[in-house]
Structure 1
């Protein structure tokens, strides 16, 4: 099967957390023998432009080294979508694309293109900025892939019914895995972008203060930290390192004793049950994890076994102290978390889920040849 995926960027992970999952699942589809093409916009690629401005060509080296089998292609804004999708059996369009492009591909499908067409939503804008999602003309699409059941419910309320499927993110366990040889570990690590104030209070309550109270040094990697955020980190004695390539995350995790999951407010209050990609990454790498309040409403993990759950800042501090002091606890959390990811939440699992969704659909109607018998 020929699969074409329109992504905002596959090359860049700068403020683009979905890059991990997209890279992993496209690689798995290729490993299954499918012809996979990733397309990203030329000139309007916000993530790539920021990465290049900050780090130049060197910023692309980690991706190219970790994913030598992925070769995304860029296209101009006025490119012919019929040419871009020529020969495709399956086309998927990520929600972080230009609405005009989304509409053009939908019209092509509505006019008789023979591929299956999905819209892939991996963001909270359906609830935080619904007008932005409603601006997409999805009338020609065969269905929606949503990265959590709560988001799928939003699309069902919008009339998609059985044409929306929950397709969770997952870990690329070919790359995200425990180190082959253990090295000395110390302190905590948190990988995440500051964003737009969606979890500022939560970070202070469940990460900065508990780390300091537990006496554990804290290293943070991410982008879009304004001056007030940097000042807050300095007040708490946090070591801020700036951007780190997503492909470098396994080696960063391997140097630390634990990490913390702090979901954005939308995923705790309005779209419960959707974990950040960082949970999949951390558990796949065998690092103990403690989560701030988050409702695993879909039963993706085993709280208390795969990770520890903190209901307050004080409880987070207690958990961090316990992990720092108890090697058996660290080993148990790492073992159980890795077991759950490898048995249920790898990109290979998601690739097979996607193919099962496609197979479940009725065959795409074939155009009748002129003069053929009815």
Structure 2
């Protein structure tokens, strides 16, 4: 049996200074973790703590955003998120100096391995901050050498975004202590919006990636939309030509990348959405929904999901519709699009669960518990501020 998370209750008894090493806070181009970390930084600041992010100046997501859409999106970040502090670093950046006043340092798994090791050595030499490694991907099962090659010896703990991923770390002996820390919805951004007078039927927001769900997209999105003659929209990046041609043949409107701050408006302009998980999360990391379902439900849109195992009981059975195959997906779509009362009730159930359990405010409270388990001081007030 896998050991339980060693996590007593508690919150810091003084303001803490957090530093998050992100792949990018500024760019969410093919980088959903940016949505979550923006919400975490904001939730920490609301609670009176100081949180800032560091990101590589030449990060892959940032480079692709600028190449595809121009650098004005980089400039807009400070306007859209004026309360979030972030700084870029390059080869000559003095990381030790930047962390002199830090209490907690969280390092994302896409951070350069040499820097991961450098931060671990700094902690091992006596740096005063708690050092946590944050894994929000499936590389522990799809690219084991890549994760196994990371030097985590100096880290106080690992934050894994699902129990199945945590178990992979424990089996492999990666990290001293491993905690489950799911992603969640940043409800300061993802919330219900007023619907326009004319709405389209179906929207799916997701990236093609490396083809980990090509067959699933065909069964649970493309064919149902085509067979039901739906007004359907797809947003996302990294779609190869053959995928774009298939969407066009099915009558689906492909609209490319959408900044996450615009996603609530996109959901409001459609009557239903679907969740189609990547294959590694279905086959080898059950219980990890990734961030998209949290965000969709937070926006108050009915959600129909392709198969995945909610092994950790994150959601109630009726928070979303479940479609075991393409025929079931068509049946759910037909019902929700033809019955406004059923669609409204479906959306309300999912939204209720998000607000009760799955906001970035809830995850900050869980992070405080993890820090308490690692010996960081903790106060009495447990009020949840979402």
Q: Could you tell me the TM-score, scaled by structure 1's length?
A: 0.94
Which position in structure 1 is the counterpart of 2:158? 144
Q: C-alpha separation between the residues in 1 aligned to 2:95 and 2:235?
A: 37
Which position in structure 2 is the counterpart of 1:275? 289
> Any conservation in 1 of the 2:19–2:54 contact (CA below 8 Å)?
yes
Alignment of 1:235-250 (within 5 A): 235-250=249-264
Any idea what SS the aligned residue of 2:106 has? strand
RMSD: 1.5
Q: C-alpha separation between the residues in 1 aligned to 2:277 and 2:98?
A: 36
Q: C-alpha separation between the residues in 1 aligned to 2:76 and 2:240?
A: 26
Matched, 1:306 2:325: no
Q: C-alpha separation between the residues in 1 aligned to 2:38 and 2:233?
A: 26
> Any conservation in 2 of the 1:42–1:77 contact (CA below 8 Å)?
no
2:349 pairs with one of 336, 355, 366: 336
Give the deviation of 1:216 after TM superposition.
Answer: 1.3
Which position in structure 2 is the counterpart of 1:367? none
Alignment of 1:7-22 (within 5 A): 7-22=22-37
Which position in structure 2 is the counterpart of 1:316? 329
2:267 pairs with one of 253, 259, 265: 253
Q: C-alpha separation between the residues in 1 aligned to 2:122 and 2:174?
A: 20
Which position in structure 1 is the counterpart of 2:368? 355
Give the deviation of 1:75 after TM superposition.
Answer: 1.1
Q: C-alpha separation between the residues in 2 aligned to 1:309 and 1:33?
A: 40
Give the deviation of 1:89 after TM superposition.
Answer: 0.5
Unaligned runs of 5+ in 2: 1-15, 378-386
Which position in structure 1 is the counterpart of 2:57? 42
Q: Deviations over 1:316-346 (max 9, x none)?
A: 0000000000111111111110000000000
Distance of aligned partners of 1:95 and 1:161 in 2 relative to their CA distance in 1, 3 Å threshold: closer
Q: C-alpha separation between the residues in 1 aligned to 2:375 and 2:192?
A: 41
Q: C-alpha separation between the residues in 1 aligned to 2:215 and 2:195?
A: 37
Give the deviation of 1:123 after TM superposition.
Answer: 0.2
Which position in structure 2 is the counterpart of 1:103? 117
1:179 pairs with one of 193, 201, 219: 193
Any idea what SS the aligned residue of 1:257 has? strand
Matched, 1:28 2:29: no
Q: C-alpha separation between the residues in 1 aligned to 2:266 and 2:74?
A: 18
Q: C-alpha separation between the residues in 1 aligned to 2:346 and 2:284?
A: 29
Q: Deviations over 1:174-217 (max 9, x none)?
A: 11100146643221001111000100000000011011222211
Which position in structure 2 is the counterpart of 1:371? none
Any idea what SS the aligned residue of 2:153 has? coil
Higher mean alpha-carbon deviation, 285-294 vs 53-62, is at 53-62
Any idea what SS the aligned residue of 2:159 has? strand
Q: C-alpha separation between the residues in 2 aligned to 1:16 and 1:302?
A: 27
> Any conservation in 2 of the 1:183–1:254 contact (CA below 8 Å)?
no
Higher mean alpha-carbon deviation, 49-58 vs 106-115, is at 49-58
Distance of aligned partners of 1:336 and 1:363 in 2 relative to their CA distance in 1, 3 Å threshold: closer
Give the deviation of 1:218 after TM superposition.
Answer: 1.1
Q: Could you tell me the TM-score, scaled by structure 2's length?
A: 0.91
Q: C-alpha separation between the residues in 1 aligned to 2:195 and 2:38?
A: 25
> Any conservation in 1 of the 2:336–2:343 contact (CA below 8 Å)?
yes
Q: C-alpha separation between the residues in 2 aligned to 1:56 and 1:235?
A: 30
Which position in structure 2 is the counterpart of 1:154? 168
Distance of aligned partners of 1:61 and 1:341 in 2 relative to their CA distance in 1, 3 Å threshold: farther
Which position in structure 2 is the counterpart of 1:123? 137
Any idea what SS the aligned residue of 2:71 has? helix
Q: C-alpha separation between the residues in 2 aligned to 1:253 and 1:113?
A: 45
Larger RCO: 1 or 2 (CA < 8 Å, sep 6+): 2
Unaligned runs of 5+ in 1: 365-374
> Any conservation in 1 of the 2:157–2:175 contact (CA below 8 Å)?
no
Any idea what SS the aligned residue of 2:173 has? helix
Q: C-alpha separation between the residues in 2 aligned to 1:22 and 1:346?
A: 12
Q: C-alpha separation between the residues in 1 aligned to 2:197 and 2:354?
A: 23
Give the deviation of 1:63 after TM superposition.
Answer: 3.8
Which position in structure 1 is the counterpart of 2:5? none
Distance of aligned partners of 1:161 and 1:65 in 2 relative to their CA distance in 1, 3 Å threshold: closer
